[in-house]
Amino acid sequence: MTAYGQTNQERDAFLLDRRFWDGPVPEPEFRNAEDLTGIWARGRCTAHGRIYSMYRDLAESPADRWWLTTNGLRYDITIIPPRVICGEYVKTKGHFHPKNRAGYGYPEIYTVLDGHAHYLIQREDGSDAVLVDARAGDVVVVPPGYGHVTINPSADEVLCMANIVSSRFSSNYAKYVGGHGAMYYEMADGTICKNRSWKRLPPLRRVTAGRIRTEEAGFAFPIYDLIRKRSPQIFFVTSPEQFSAIADLAFP
């Protein structure tokens, strides 16, 4: 598979057409393969070029922009074209979220707009690891205290996903860099490999997103409706301590 070039950028523009987004489209941020050096299953893996793009801090209207900014919220779209790097499916770098003032880790809400995603979610204390299989229309919640990597497990489908998260913190990539990736690697032949760099390796639980009760928790597709409707459930991503029942419903 070739590196992420001009053709992929044009595909981004197509995918961000009115099927998925009606508002202004800013210039994307790009993640390069070089940024992920050291976190692949093969320690000496070297790869080059852009591998995915991130459209940050989107808003459909000036009123939405004001409301999101005032409440410390952010809506993003990420596009990950298919690619295999050193025998492993292309993935995001992986990160944890810090704790809010109440001492709870910031959660995040994801949805697949198009394609197929595997969300590899792991607890920061090493006690749990979950691989969530998600398709277009599925909603996935990363709960407080968990980090996450997103994988595009397809040989030919572009993954387009959106997320809602607090804008009041910076993500922590250090543990994923120090651990040479997540607790598990997903290889392009379908095998899951343990990452022995982590001292604690819990069994990997596998879950289908469609069986998680995210809609009962108030998180239905499309998640931008949480912004349009000024839904109170959206504040789960800034103040999860006020929505304990939501986390129980929305995470397996």
Q: What is the pLDDT of residue 1?
A: 39
| Residue 84 half-sphere exposure toward CB, CA atoms < 13 A | 12
Collapsed DSSP state (helix, strand, coil) of residue 12: helix
Cα 58 → chain centroid = 16
- pLDDT, residue 217, reads 92
C-alpha R_g of the chain: 17
Domain 6-250 has CATH 2.60.120.10: yes
Question: Residue 200: what pLDDT?
Answer: 93
Output the pLDDT for position 6. 56
Compute the distance between CA of residue 82 and CA of residue 202 in angstroms, rounded to an integer.
28
Task: Report pLDDT for 14.
Answer: 58
Contact 175, 186 (CB under 8 A): no
Domain residue spans of the chain: 6-250
> Cα–Cα distance between 116 and 179 in angstroms, integer?
26
- Tokens representing 4 are 């992420």
What CA–CA distance (Å, rounded) separates 156 from 98? 35
Query: What is the model's pLDDT at position 247?
Result: 83
CA distance 24 to 82: 26
Instruction: Give the per-residue pLDDT at 5.
Output: 58
Tell how far CA 243 is from the center of its chain: 21
107 and 169 Cβ atoms separated by less than 8 Å? no
Q: Give the amino acid at 34.
A: E
Does a cis peptide bond (omega within 30 degrees of 0) precede residue 222? yes
- Tens place of pLDDT per residue across the chain (252 aa): 345 555 566 656 655 666 788 888 888 899 999 999 999 999 889 899 999 999 999 999 999 999 999 999 999 999 999 999 999 999 999 999 999 999 999 999 999 999 999 999 999 999 999 999 999 999 999 999 999 999 999 999 999 999 999 999 999 999 999 999 999 999 999 999 999 999 999 999 999 999 899 999 999 999 999 999 999 999 999 999 999 888 888 888
According to DSSP, the β-strands at 139-142 and 146-151 are unpaired
Cross-strand bridge partners of residue 117: 134
Provide the residue count of the chain: 252
